[in-house]
Amino acid sequence: MFKRNFAKLNQAMGFQRSSNRQKVQPGISDLSSNERAPNSCHPVINGAVSDDANYSSWMVDHPSALTSFDQMMKDAKGKKIVVFLDYDGTLSPIVNDPDLAFMSDEMRAAVREVAKYFPTAIISGRSRDKVKGFVQLNNIYYAGSHGMDIMAPPRPVRSSEGKYHTVSLDRKGNEAVFQPAQKFLPSIQKILKELEEAIMKIQGARVENNRFCVSVHFRQVRDEDYGILEEKVKSILKHYPDFRLGWGKKVMEIRPSIEWDKGNALEYLLDTLGLGNCTDVLPVYIGDDRTDEDAFKVIQKRGQGYPIVVASSPKDTKASYSLHDPSEVLTFLRRLARWRKASSSSRSLSQIWGVGS
């Protein structure tokens, strides 16, 4: 297992490439200018903004995870479920100010309850520290910067003085922090500084430091200023060939050009749990962004699991199921926890993780 993780780390750092593995790109850099621009917040299908009829038609191929819940759980009987969650737009609503993307107390309680029964991870484009500050739970994995900064849940250990303290450990007893883009930090800090100086006069533009990636938010930028903003960002990146530019929801994302994304993070976390090669594992991944598609692809390739997209209008996706908005995510998580609690075949979290209670 650890040899596999080490090989993935080498591959992510550019030391080797697998000749038989298809390289999966995040799929956020190939958007047309119309899809990136501030006005295009709604998906476009056949040249027209999607409506209720189109959404209903789309849901035929991406049925509601709430409507399908009973059948999904029937198929999950006797299998090990591992839960993966995006943050913005999934656990919290999309808001104009990214610093105000708070999750509700009800959502926090639901995630806490789910984590009692299943290994649970949040994989976000935010910095790990920032998303942990939003979520405020200690019994889950946090993967920030699109999976480039992963921390395991803390577990109590005994110190040399006989006292207990809490740290995050891997199976060899080392602190479990995984950061495949560590060497890019100096350049990221330079990019961050240059961006802040370049866009400070563009009203509504905002630069966010997400540790191993940089986000440029333009949700509040005027339409006529968007082209200027995009050009400034691109002109800075010309001097940093080891980085690439992608787009999310009203945000430009600057990331190191390594083969590591949310899909790789999902695989790494399954490996860390000792479940990477198990055939009885069902990953459940819920997310709303294009970057979550990499995780959906991994689940699709595994041939089992539940990729669930959060979408209020039709969109191209590899997800098998859908939820309309964070309120439906809340309902789904509550039902999932209740199902496991009521299941006579449930196993404790310590049994699933292979750690002492």
Q: Can you tell me which residue has the tokens 């490439």?
A: 17
Q: Extract the tokens encoding 89.
A: 């737009």
Q: Report the C-alpha gap between 5 and 193 in whole angstroms.
A: 33
Beta strand 306-310 with 281-287 is: parallel
* Active-site position among 61, 70, 86, 289: 86
Q: Minimal CA–CA distance to 273: which of 288, 283, 263, 259?
A: 283
80 and 280 in contact (C-beta within 8 Å)?
yes
Q: Can you tell me which residue has the tokens 């995009």?
A: 230
Residue 57 phi/psi, 5-degree rounding, is -65, -40
Amino acid, res. 230: E
DSSP 148: T
Amino acid, res. 166: T
Q: Extract the tokens encoding 117.
A: 């029964």
Beta strand 80-85 with 120-123 is: parallel
Q: Report the C-alpha gap between 247 and 102 in whole angstroms.
A: 22
Other beta carbons less than 10 A from residue 168's beta carbon: 18
Beta strand 141-144 with 149-151 is: antiparallel
Other beta carbons less than 10 A from residue 341's beta carbon: 11
Q: Minimal CA–CA distance to 315: which of 39, 72, 26, 61?
A: 61
Q: Extract the tokens encoding 287.
A: 């997310």
299 and 283 in contact (C-beta within 8 Å)?
yes
258 and 10 in contact (C-beta within 8 Å)?
no
Other beta carbons less than 10 A from residue 155's beta carbon: 15
Active site residue 223: no
Active site residues: 86
